[in-house]
Chain A
Amino acid sequence: MPINVLMPALSPTMEKGNLAKWLKKEGDAIKSGDVIAEIETDKATMEVEAVDEGVLAKILVAEGTADVPVNELIALIAEEGEDPGSVEAPKGGEAKGEAKTAPVEPKGTPDQNAAPDGAHASYARVDQAPEGAKPNGAAQPGASGGRVFASPLARRIAKQEGIDLSAVKGSGPHGRVIQRDVQAAIEGGTAKAGAAAKPETKAATPAADKPAPKAAPAGGAPAGLSLDQVKGFYEKGSFEEVPLDGMRKTIAKRLTEAMQVAPHFYLTVDCELDALMKLRETLNGSAGKDKDGKPLFKLSVNDFVIKAMGLALTRVPAANAVWAEDRILRFKHAEVGVAVAIDGGLFTPVIRKADQKTLSTISNEMKDFAGRARAKKLKPEEYQGGVTSVSNLGMFGIKHFTAVINPPQSTILAVGAGEKRVVVKDGAPAVVQAMTATLSCDHRVLDGALGAELIAAFKGLIENPMGMLV
């Protein structure tokens, strides 16, 4: 009987995730501990480890599939002696019904939203999960609390040579790290504890004994200078070393990737704010009060910016789109992310259907998001997706800056401070309230003219804000 591979849960609250990548093909031999797929949520990529041996007989959910529900049957493994060709998916979701997943706690971080990149999960087996919380695949390090399975000799050599065992891919039974693996790591120069290692060494690594730090370079991108190289530039004792948390690693990885993968170009406009400031004052003044006497809303300039981006995207539908490998995904509604700085990092919660929501709704949603972002209480689905983002550094007095696109989005708007400026109006100098906004565009999706059209629509809405009320 084939083994069902189910969509694993990254956190107890996770309901779905994206099947980012299959690392094994149909027909590949699978041994326990092999990483067979990568599952993505916005803040984390999780490797799915096999707990069984056999042959990957069928992939039932193609890579790149978004929002795959937890416990969905994603693949079948033919057991030893079974003909992979004859393996068939069970009919009518019977697997789903019985499935019990052992929730995989993200390791190394108490915050489930900021699960470290490179977390591991092993999938649940339908035929192996009796009632109750029997740990899934007891011998699976990934699922059972961070033990690295390694032979005593491998451990001793690793210790003597300063090899981080958690960064060594085990080739022994059930992925056990054995002497030859450690020797290969020494010869390959990878996996030195504390030093940057090649990204692939993190694959199939059973969970670490230690919390977050893995041998993979923070961010998983080309490592750049090694730790020792960097340290070599500075006097000893002149710095303290700050370990990376999951959020920092994710930011490093995703934004490095964005700059390398998405060709950026930048469009800058000045927007006059006099009309907007006036409207804002009027609207805030007209806000009703709740039973405690507090106003029901208090609109910020940023709330107008969010709404204006949302509307602009629907007015320039070609720009309301993201790149997806071999195609472009174009959206019906505008989803606008808003960068919220928090201690040690940032979150980008997404205002859904920003084009349709009223300013007061957007404003109140943002207040809730900002508060929960600072408390790190956002749910993954609240910061996933989005077509564009707004990053506003106006409150720091920044006049102009450019922002890095937050994948998989295609644009990001960098908003500067509103200030009094002298401009030429009708041939004479005039004082106006103005701000500078710069749109970063992914050239794969937007060409210059299209980007210009989008930011022109935005500027039009900001300068004629009544358009946002109807």
Chain B
Amino acid sequence: MSETYDVLIIGAGPGGYVTAIRAAQLGFKTAVVDREHLGGICLNWGCIPTKALLRSAEIYHYMQHASDYGLSAKEVSFDTAAIVKRSRGVSGRLNGGVGMLLKKNKVDVIWGEAAIDVAAKGNEPGKVTVKETKRAEPPKGAKGAGTYAAKHIIVATGARPRVLPGIEPDKKQIWTYYEAMVPEAMPKSLLVMGSGAIGIEFASFYRTMGAEVTVIELLPQILPVEDAEIAGIARKRFEKQGIKILTSAKVTKVEKGANSVTATVEDDKGKTQSLTAEKLISAVGVVGNIENLGLEKLGVKIERGIVVTDGLGRTNVPGVYAIGDVAGPPMLAHKAEHEGVICIETIKGLHTHPMDKGKIPGCTYCHPQIASVGLTEGKAKELGFSIKVGRFPFAGNGKAIALGEPDGLIKTIFDAKTGQLLGAHMVGAEVTELIQGYVVAMTLETTEEELMHTVFPHPTLSEMMHESVLDAYGRVIHT
């Protein structure tokens, strides 16, 4: 036994490393364990590298449409390897940044696979055994395998792609996001199973790069968590770009050929069809990494693959905590970070509240972008709210026209009785950068009145956020 830490965090993803830094700020002697990469999936195989890929796709798209802006670009082409190299470089740079941040905050990094042997009891700290792993080279200065003692152990091990039986990824024809992020060559045709954020982003990327893309979604709506109207607008735009979309459709069988994959797809009426493509991306969600951590042995309560917590990160076993994907949906980096901070501040004895999951924004970086927070129109009605809905189209916004992005909508949903902003939903250019305006408003509990009184700068896309609110109350100016 080498060290006794106040806090030991298993997993250095966005939840884990942010929690570690906050713990260090609060004066805790802190360590974070990881087996593969600082920054987790988000930074290495998720949020960040996909944004790099999508940026390449976006610029490629603009170059193809240069004449729309009075420019000419001839023989526009791309180099797949260079695109992938750039994306990996972005991850590498940020990965190193996380290491520096941890070092700066005097957080110890321990390299390997961790399992909890015992939780803290009375004055006895808990124990965690870290085994060596060959998955990746440890960062400089990391501690190695061994047994470590810690008063508080936080599980922040994240999630991995869900695997459907019979459609197991083989890394050749059947991909998960790992393979889809580092293609050796652009596939000519592609099936995307699942139309959540991951599936849609890859569909958008590969379509822009020229692939024939078909998206297969089990539910009647693509982007199932989004507002139906917004998802409908997005669908039309995707279809206009040439993406084929099958909803209420189930992949019942997948057969692999030498250089192809054939999926049997059944619609809701029982009609089947066969679709063949070079690759199939399985993007049917993620599942929490709860195995081999010793949680069962400790008696940590787990329900349907999710570690049960009290909303402040505490499990039923004192001294053991869980945050981020393992603690349940939404499985988003920013949710994990926030949850981690609440958890460590609770350990510190600061005044904390469970996170309000109704105010966690979601962003999808396809073209056009989708962003939302709060209740959808359907959900608000289902919950019995009497609502006022405001809509403002990109076509009515000067900046959007100037940008050449006249397609999109900003939709706001208010409680008719109290003026509470229940939800905001957007589709169109740059909306992922706009949504946080509404998130701040919701967090501050503004009503329509304060939003109406707020001055939005001209000319910006954000003016549409103002207009949408005005529209909900019959005061819209520009439509």
A: residues with CB less than 8 A from B are 27, 29, 31, 53, 55, 80-83, 151-154, 156-157, 160, 171, 178-179
Contact = CB atoms under 8 A, between A and B. Distances in A.
A340 B444 CA distance: 52
B444 A157 contact: no
Contacts, number: 43
Given A83-B27, A152-B450, A156-B418, 9 more contacts: A53-B350, A55-B349, A80-B26, A80-B348, A81-B26, A153-B447, A157-B418, A171-B353, A179-B420
B161 interface: no
Contacts of B240: none
Interface string B408-419: 000000000111
Contacts of B449: 152
B445 interface: yes
Interface in B82-136: none
Nearest to A84: B349
B19 to A, nearest CB: 15
Given A157-B418, A160-B417, A179 B445 contact: yes
The 9 closest A-B pairs by CB, nearest first: A151-B445, A153-B445, A31-B351, A81-B27, A29-B349, A152-B447, A152-B446, A153-B420, A29-B351
A178 B350 contact: no
A260 to B, nearest CB: 34
19 contacts: A29-B349, A29-B351, A31-B350, A53-B350, A80-B26, A80-B350, A81-B25, A81-B27, A83-B27, A152-B444, A152-B446, A152-B450, A153-B420, A153-B445, A153-B447, A156-B419, A156-B447, A178-B445, A179-B420
A152 B445 contact: yes
A153 B447 CA distance: 6
Contacts of A157: 418
B312 to A, nearest CB: 13
Contacts of A29: 349-351
A81 B353 CA distance: 19
A27 B351 CA distance: 12
Interface string B344-355: 000011110100
B27 A82 contact: yes
Nearest to A171: B353
Which of A151, A153, A178 is packed against the most chain B CB atoms within 10 Å? Answer: A153
Nearest to A159: B418
A171 B420 CA distance: 19
B130 to A, nearest CB: 28
Contacts of B417: 160
Nearest to A153: B445
A154 B351 contact: no
Contacts of A171: 353
A82 B26 CA distance: 8
A83 B25 CA distance: 12
A154 B27 contact: no
Contacts of B348: 80
A458 B134 CA distance: 96
